[in-house]
Structure 1
Amino acid sequence: MSQPQHLRSDYRHFQPITTRWHDNDVYGHVNNVTYYSFFDSAVNTYLIEVGGLDIHNGAVVGFVVSSSCDYFASIAFPERIEIGLRVGKLGNSSVQYELAVFKEGEDEACAAGRFVHVFVDRSSNRPLSIPETLRAALTLLLIEPAI
């Protein structure tokens, strides 16, 4: 069974990332667990810069409750990559991000993944409705549901 193609044009926002020397494993490519760090960095950069998330003193925290990644082609230091970001589902207190790793300038993804954030109150760790400024930023990334 072939993997679905993930194209640059399918994503709403791109976060550039420079791979680092220690990202490579003994096989000479970026280790699989590092992709999750790329995803986390891309999402949180967007939430801070576009959504106004205050990671140090804000009342709202996003907890990752689910994640996955599929790999199609390897990347290695010193390649420059871009993480494509879109929102597949936007609920009351949760959001499902869909992400893809692209080599700089390439149209087909090397990897694609997803993760789910549940937004909670920092003091109680209880879910809460996504604040309006974050919801507005996430709505910009929302893809149309398949018919």
Structure 2
Amino acid sequence: MPTIDEQPYTLVVPTRWKDNDVYGHVNNVEYYSFFDTVINTYLIREGGLDIHHGPVIGLCVESHCRYDAPLAFPEPVTAGLAVTKLGRSSVRYAVTLFGADGAPAAEGWFVHVFVDRETRRPAGAPDGLRAALERLLVTPAA
């Protein structure tokens, strides 16, 4: 399992009181929100993705999460992000969530297809966005 130091990009995401469920840990659905947060933060900040007016948007077409250890409010989550496959209009991310102790809590993948905002047909990622994604490209572990 990857470590924090092996992540090409990380983002600390605070947990919220409402994230905990009745069992006292962050509910499984919130992990996907952490995935979305690290991915879209990177795309906006580093890739220049204009989520409001840009001609291209990213749509999630597949995602997966394996849960390894519980997270709980108020501990922060460090989300690690890498790109394991980059096509003309699609990208597959590897996302690893780490607890406050630095140990992996979950790992998974998320696939975006970049589409034309109006037609929703696949479109190539704009140059700046593609360059940002290339900076995260790693060879997946066998």
TM-score range, shorter chain: over 0.9
Q: Which among 51, 58, 81 is matched to residue 77 of structure 2?
A: 81
Q: How many residues of Structure 1 are paired with residues of Structure 2 in the alignment? A: 142
1:62 aligns to 2:62 (yes or no): no
Shift of 1:62: 0.1
Shift of 1:67: 0.2
Change beyond 3 A, Cα 1:36–1:146: closer
SS at match of 1:133: helix
Match in the other structure for 1:103: 99
* CA distance in structure 1 between the aligned counterparts of 2:140 and 2:68, rounded to whole angstroms: 24
Match in the other structure for 1:34: 30
* CA distance in structure 2 between the aligned counterparts of 1:110 and 1:124, rounded to whole angstroms: 38
- TM-score, normalised via structure 2 length: 0.96
Shift of 1:7: 1.7
Return the letter of the residue paired with 2:111: V
* CA distance in structure 2 between the aligned counterparts of 1:62 and 1:22, rounded to whole angstroms: 27
1:9 aligns to 2:9 (yes or no): no
Return the letter of the residue paired with 1:26: V
Show the 5 A alignment for 1:10-25. 10-25=6-21
Shift of 1:9: 2.7
Show the 5 A alignment for 1:48-59. 48-59=44-55
Return the letter of the residue paired with 1:121: D
Instruction: Determine what percentage of the aligned residue pairs are the same residue.
Output: 54
Q: Which among 113, 125, 130 is matched to residue 130 of structure 1?
A: 125
Could you give the per-residue CA deviations for residues 24-62 of structure 1, whole angstroms, max 9, x where no partner exists? 011100000100000001100000000000000111100
* CA distance in structure 1 between the aligned counterparts of 2:77 and 2:140, rounded to whole angstroms: 27
Shift of 1:105: 5.0
Report the RMSD for the aligned CA atoms in angstroms: 1.3
1:120 aligns to 2:115 (yes or no): yes
Shift of 1:6: 2.8
Shift of 1:129: 1.0
**Runs of 4 or more consecutive aligned structure 1 residues displaced over 6 Å after TM superposition:** none
Return the letter of the residue paired with 2:60: V
1:92 aligns to 2:88 (yes or no): yes
Q: Where do 5+ consecutive residues of structure 2 fail to align?
A: none
